[in-house]
A and B are shown apart, each in its own frame.
Chain A
Amino acid sequence: MTTTSSRLSTSQGVPVTGRPGGAGPVQPTVVNDAVEGPFDLVDTVFEVADVSVFYGDYEAVRNVDMKIGKRRITAMIGPSGCGKSTLLRCFNRMNDLIPGTRLGGKITFHGEDLYGDHVDPIEVRRRIGMVFQKPNPFPKSIYDNIAYGPRVNGVKRGLDDLVEEALVGAALWDEVKDKLKQNALALSGGQQQRLCIARTIAVKPEVILMDEPCSALDPIATAKIEDLMQNLTRDYTIVIVTHNMQQAARVSHRTAFFTADVDREGVRHGRLVEYDETSKLFTTPSDERTEAYITGRFG
């Protein structure tokens, strides 16, 4: 498994009480009904091997190893500037758009090197969709927003069905079915974000990357998106970056905790500290930095 496997073995299922060191404020109860079995039994979608990401000479993320399981929600948490969004954007090669970005190590997608010479980033992004922090609908109708992805991928027929299917999938159909020709920018922020999710699933990707999808939304809209994410795991693998620890605890199966190390020259580098079952990471973290972060002592 991953580097964390040795830490994992002992305490699976051990009650939270009696944790050494005193946890401080009690963390939200972790309930993930969807966790069906140990991670080893889940197919691996992404395998990140010794990955470092550079912007020019600056190494934003250093030596990350992790595996991301199929039809699981994997959360990446950590303080600002720890490189979690940077790493997320490597999964669908959105970092290619920033000049001077370079990747060390290897990310494989079903065993295929994502950064191999033969790989077409356009095809990668079609298979691995992304939802952004700020809802970013196109200044077009709701219908055209959803149909955009299929259209650019050459779909010409059956668009009506695709649009309906995507909107149903994103739990937005009932709210917008009578106003598909209206401008998407007239929707509320939460609706816009669900529209962006619908737009992503209209392309029928395999993975949905979410970069702090709820940070611009109110709690009710956030709850709707979190419910939606749970439903989406029937068909999709989700990787979510979030600043909200409770959110990671509520929705994810596995959580990766990142932090930033400061080196001798005072430069910050993002690092993966701990990666484990969410229930384990939030109750009995193995690393004291994780514990300090989830109990609110830093970050």
Chain B
Amino acid sequence: MTTAPARHRTENPSLAGRFRPLEPLFKGMLLASLALAVLFLVVLLSYVVTEGWDRLDPRLWENFPSKLYPERAGAQSAIVGTIYVIALTGAFCVPIGVMTAIYLEEYADGSRWWNRMIELNIQNLAGVPSIVYGILGLGVIARGLDLGRTLLTASLTLSLLVLPVVIIAAREAIRAVPGSIRQASLALGATPWQTIARQVLPAAVPGIATGVILALSRAIGEAAPLLLLGAVTHITFNPSGITDSYTVLPIQIFNWTKQPEAEFHTLASAAIVILLFILLAMNSVAIWVRNRYQKRW
């Protein structure tokens, strides 16, 4: 009966630990993965900064593109265009995405086949290549709705592109709000909408903000769908309204890297730094929002 513990006692009388090689090995693997990710980031950043250093000056944001004189060329129209496109994309996709997520999480009956099919399709849409959205935008928005190759078309197309990401992230954030909070609110005589607006959404804001930033970060770097939507051309003026033609930084960078002159390549690297800087600024806003609304249960 008691043979097993007795044998154990005689074999290992002290409290000394056994040799466990997997523990340090696993920890080492984790650190190596982290180091690899950080290394690539550092290499990338230092590469574009050193390459573009000579042109990281006010000319970049004060001047417009020039095909003939690289020393005079700048990216003002692309910077302004990028900010416009991202702001409009956010304005379109955040309300629609969050409301869709609220419907799916709080109202839809998950046991109905059509709701499950909607869910499945949203997940699939998140994986559709962006060029497909470009074709959709060209066919339906630019031509079908006759909006032309404008800022509005670009923003609507990018909104469609990132909407699944926003929906999925917002759903996760809403689902993470404990059910006890909803029950407490409803038990006090609050309506479902009061419960969502006053309890669920404020508690889900940090998660939604993270998702929105991921989505907009994807949108800001997209060139492929916009190539189809009129952003190719060389634009030497800032958009003054949503029905203007436009260009964005990824397109401008793409154009400059195609030029034979080395000066344009330097210019492209400098523009990449600007693009990363805009991205970083957006991320800081998200982190600020997240910290402001951070809740503990």
Contact = CB atoms under 8 A, between A and B. Distances in A.
Interface string A108-140: 000000000000001101100110101011110
A132 B188 contact: no
A99 B109 CA distance: 8
Would you call the interface of chain B mostly helix, strand, loop, or mixed? helix
B283 interface: no
Nearest to B109: A99
B217 interface: no
Given A139-B296, A139-B297, A185-B296, A149 B189 contact: yes
Given A99-B111, A139-B296, A152-B194, A203 B188 contact: yes
Interface in B105-158: 109, 111
A35 interface: no
A129 B297 CA distance: 22
Nearest to B110: A99
Contacts, number: 68
A230 B190 CA distance: 27
Given A99-B111, A138-B199, A149 B188 contact: yes
Contact of A129 (B111, B187, B295, B296): B187
A199 B295 CA distance: 20
B184 A152 contact: no
Interface string A37-53: 00000000000000000
Contacts of B46: none
B180 A136 contact: yes
B189 A132 contact: no
B297 A196 contact: no
A132 B190 CA distance: 16
Interface in A73-103: 92, 94, 97, 99-100
- Of listed A99, A125, A196, residue having the most chain B CB within 10 A: A125
- Of listed A122, A129, A152, A203, residue having the most chain B CB within 10 A: A152
A153 interface: yes
Interface string B176-202: 001011111111111100100011000
B192 to A, nearest CB: 9
A125 B111 contact: no
B189 A153 contact: yes
- Of listed B181, B183, B188, residue having the most chain A CB within 10 A: B188
B173 interface: no
B191 to A, nearest CB: 6
Contacts of A283: none
A152 B203 contact: no
B296 A152 contact: no
Nearest to A130: B187
For the complex of A and B, the 4 pairs showing the least CB-CB separation, nearest first, are A126-B189, A149-B188, A136-B180, A152-B190
Interface of A: 92, 94, 97, 99-100, 122-123, 125-126, 129-130, 132, 134, 136-139, 148-149, 152-153, 185, 196, 199-200, 203
Interface of B: 109, 111, 178, 180-191, 194, 198-199, 203, 295-297
